[in-house]
């Protein structure tokens, strides 16, 4: 008997940002630019997130570090919290994430950390609609992922607590 299961997902990999739609390109540029506003004196890894809301509003966030390292917060969660606070009840359509590594290169996409994936999943459940992700460094490849759910298979959610 075969008990094995598989989990996989499809995403788009653009060789660079020139093949993006104008809307996606603009959002990615926002994420790239806002990295300059990160507070990351410890890691020197500046991350920027730009969110396009369903009402067309744009909300930006950057990572905010702390001398007590675990108190730091990622750019994605800063942007999501800001969106939900400034525009309550308005769904997140797309989040673009970029970074500027002051110690190295910034030419390949990064994807959200585990806590941010869990947080994105909670937002998707709240709004009952997918959140697209655009992931890229300052240059180079751009990954487009259709829903944050794809990044966290077997996610834990409120459903599991019923």
Point out which residues bind ligand THU (CB under 6 A).
Answer: 40, 43, 45, 47, 63, 65, 72, 74-76, 110, 112-113, 116
Distance CA(162)–CA(158), nearest Å, equals 7
Q: Is 76 a catalytic residue?
A: yes
Q: Is 74 helix (H, G, I), strand (E, B) or coil?
A: coil
Catalytic member of 76, 122, 124, 159: 76
Distances (CA, A) of 54 to 22, 68, 162: 17, 35, 30
Other C-beta atoms closer than 10 Å to the C-beta of 136 total 26
Distance CA(63)–CA(35), nearest Å, equals 8
Q: For residues 49 and 52, which CB has a smaller minimum distance to ligand THU in the complex?
A: 49
Q: For residues 70 and 88, which CB has a smaller minimum distance to ligand THU in the complex?
A: 70
- Burial per residue of 30-58, b for 16 or more beta-carbon CB atoms within 10 angstroms, e otherwise: bbbebbeebebeeeebbbbbbbbbeeeee
Active site residues per annotation: 76
């Amino acid at each position: 008997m075969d008990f094995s299961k598989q989990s996989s997902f499809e995403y788009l990999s653009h060789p660079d940002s020139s093949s993006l739609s104008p809307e996606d390109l603009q959002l990615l540029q926002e994420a790239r630019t806002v990295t300059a506003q990160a507070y990351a004196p410890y890691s020197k890894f500046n991350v920027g997130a730009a969110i396009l809301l369903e009402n067309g509003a744009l909300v930006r966030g950057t990572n905010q570090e702390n001398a007590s390292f675990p108190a730091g917060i990622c750019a994605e969660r800063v942007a999501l919290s800001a969106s939900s606070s400034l525009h309550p009840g308005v769904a997140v359509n797309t989040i673009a994430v970029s970074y500027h590594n002051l110690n190295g290169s910034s030419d390949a996409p990064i994807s959200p950390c585990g806590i941010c994936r869990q947080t994105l999943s909670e937002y998707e459940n709240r709004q009952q609609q997918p959140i697209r992700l655009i992931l890229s460094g300052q240059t180079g490849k751009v990954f487009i992922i259709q829903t944050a759910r794809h990044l966290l298979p077997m996610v834990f959610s409120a459903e599991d607590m019923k």
